Every structure is written in C-alpha cells, then in structure tokens.
Amino acid sequence: MKISRPPMAGLIGLVVLFLLGLVGTAAAATGSDLALSVGCAGFTSRGGSILFEDTDAVLVRAQDGAGAVLYERRITRPADGTFAWDDGERITWTTEPEFSPIVVSIVSEAETIAEQELVYLVVGKCTTLPSAGDLYDVAADLGLLALIAEVDGTTAPSVPPDVAPPRPTNNTDIVETLAGYAIVNTDNLFMRSGAGVEYTPVAVVDGGTRLIVLGRSDADLADFSDELWWYVEAGGLRGWVNNQFLALRGDLRGIPVVPSLGEIIAPTIYIGFSGSLMRVAPFQSANIVCGVQGDQYYPLLARDTRPANWYYVEATCVDGTVAHGWFEVDSVLLFNPADVIVPVFGE
C-alpha cells in the first residue's frame, strides 16, 4: 500500500489517528488523561496515569526522526494497577537526538510487536534539529503503522438522494481529550464527499456532535471564514463540513491542508405523487409511457429547449419497470446544487 506523506505541520494533528485505534476496543492498558510534553531534551509529565488492565508491563520508548532510541523503560504493574509520573516530573533522554520529530510511545508488553497494543503516543518537534523523517517513518519503526489512517481526502461513500444518510457519532469523552476538535452547532448537518455544497452527502451529523478534525480545505482562510471546510471523522466515517456550522475548540493550528476529491451531485428531479404521468415526447398530447412511483428523486438526462419546458428523465414506473420519458418543468422540482449544465435532448 502506498502511504501518502503529509507535511510536517500536520504531525501533531495526526496523533489523533493513533487514538482512534483505542476507541471501542478492550485494551491491555490505557493512558487515563495521560499528558506528556515532549521537547529536545526529554519529556515532562503534565498529569494523568497508566492503568494496567490485561498486561503485566508496558514499554516506554522515545525515538528521534531517524529512529534512534533516546530513552527506554519497562514499567511493571504496580500493586494498585496504576502508574503515574509526578505532575511536572522531568525525564531526560539518555541519548541526544539528532533529528526531528521526536516520538514517545507507550505500548503493552507482548511476545511479538503485532500483539502489542498502543497505550499512548505523542509527537514533539525540536526546531533546532533537522527533519529526517515524519510520523509514518517513525511509526513503521515502532511497529505501529497499522494504527495510522491515511489523511488523503477520501470519504465515506456518497448517499443516493432517495436513501437516508447514516448518522455517525463519536465518543465525546475521547474527542474532548484531543488538542483540538469541532462541535456541530446546527442540526442535521451534511458531511459531504468534497469541500463544497456541490458535493454529494455521505452522512448527517446531529447538533452537539464532537468531530475529529483531520484536515482543512485552505491554509490561507481564517478559521472563522464561511468559505473554509474541515475534513472530519465521525463514527468511522469521513467527510467535509462547512466552518460556519461548527464551534472550534482547542488548538487546530497543526491541521494539514487536504485535497478535496469528492463526487459532484448530478442533477435530479423530484416527483412527489405516485402515478404522475411520464410521456414519450415533450408535449401534452404525446403518448404516456407510464405513471411513475412518487416521493422519489430521478436522474435528469436532458431538456428540450432553451429555456427548458420539459425534462427527460429515467424513472421507475408504478409496476417497478425502469423507463425513460418526459415531464413538464412545472410539474417537478429540479435539484441541481452544482449547477451542472443539462444537455439539450439530441445534441
């Protein structure tokens, strides 16, 4: 599998993706509100603890951007099953780093790397050092590559107009531990396949949903701009949401710009009543193809003139057969948010 490599500015935000592997799974150990601040000389505890559950030991390891081990420690299960550094306690590297970034990982001890479970991971940058690798390189060395999801702009599948979109949610307690996240401040917000209203919906999120922010549409747009779109994840589904319907929380400055690869919404017409008559030609005296099933969106294939008086569509007849025919413009509702040019029939 080819791994796309995001810019270094996105490294801190990508730590979120490691945490996703912990949600909803039984863990050998967990980092309960654990917070480590990583610098050029070592890391400092900012509170929290390691809770031992189904493991007798965890391995703490720090590596620089070239994979050199800076610090290693095996911590065995305490009598009460909880280990914590003192708040403000400083741990100094035993080997001096030569390259940025610096990655500190805590994994459960196991016979093989494949059986290890990630308890905690944090990435720090040392601005005085050259960059020799990124999060993907270091994660590969740590055996954690399977926990990384690519931030490449791909989204959940588009939802057809006549199908109810999924309504994904996130674990609020987990999301609120992240450095930055977004809260939906409207109801029934579409997540889309691209950064714009012209793109197909992939899901709907309810007001109050906490969203994991993975990317943004434009680095030059201010965070309060209505033109800005955020690439987010909810319930394992990814899509784009518009900034004007979100409340941002925390620090999102490290979020990378992500390409918008969505699917443009094709023009459709909505027919409300079952039995509406579809004709073989664009005039009232033309023969009837069939009465069609109502309360449906149907693909718009063509129109008759400029301006259009009739639309040529593909529709499902009441008996279940699929046919093509004409409807008067005034008898249907046009849905074309992408302003797709509808061809003239026969051209």
Run means of pLDDT, 10 residues per run, the chain, 347 residues? 28 36 49 81 90 90 83 94 92 91 84 72 78 49 44 84 89 82 96 94 96 89 94 90 96 83 91 95 94 94 87 96 95 89 84
Tokens 């073989």 sit at which residue? 280
Domain boundaries, the chain: 8-147, 151-264, 268-335
**Could you report how far apart the first and last alpha carbons of the chain are, in Å?**
44
* CATH assignment of 8-147, among 2.60.40, 3.10.620, 1.10.10, 3.40.50: 2.60.40
d(CA 273, CA 291): 10
Q: Residue 339: left if φ>0, alpha if ψ -120 to 50, beta else—which one?
A: left
List Cβ neighbours of 212 (8 Å cut-off, separation of 6 or more).
Answer: 16, 20, 170, 175, 178, 181, 232, 233, 234
- 151-264 and 268-335 share one fold: yes
d(CA 92, CA 70): 9
3-state helix, strand, coil in the chain (%, to 5): 10, 40, 50
Whole-model pTM over 0.85: no
Cα Rg of the chain (Å, integer): 27
Asked if 216 contacts 246 with a C-beta cutoff of 8 angstroms, the reply is no
CATH number of 151-264: 2.30.30.40
Asked if 131 contacts 100 with a C-beta cutoff of 8 angstroms, the reply is yes
d(CA 294, CA 249): 44
Q: Looking at residue 210, what is its pLDDT? A: 95
3-state secondary structure of 206: coil
Q: Looking at residue 32, what is its pLDDT? A: 65
List Cβ neighbours of 2 (8 Å cut-off, separation of 6 or more).
Answer: none
Phi, psi of 54 (to 5 degrees): -115, 30
Q: Looking at residue 112, what is its pLDDT? A: 63
**Superfamily of domain 268-335 in the CATH hierarchy:** SH3 Domains (2.30.30.40)
What's the one-letter identity of residue 225?
Answer: S
Residue 135: burial class (beta carbons within 10 Å; 0-12, 13-18, 19+): buried
3-state secondary structure of 228: coil
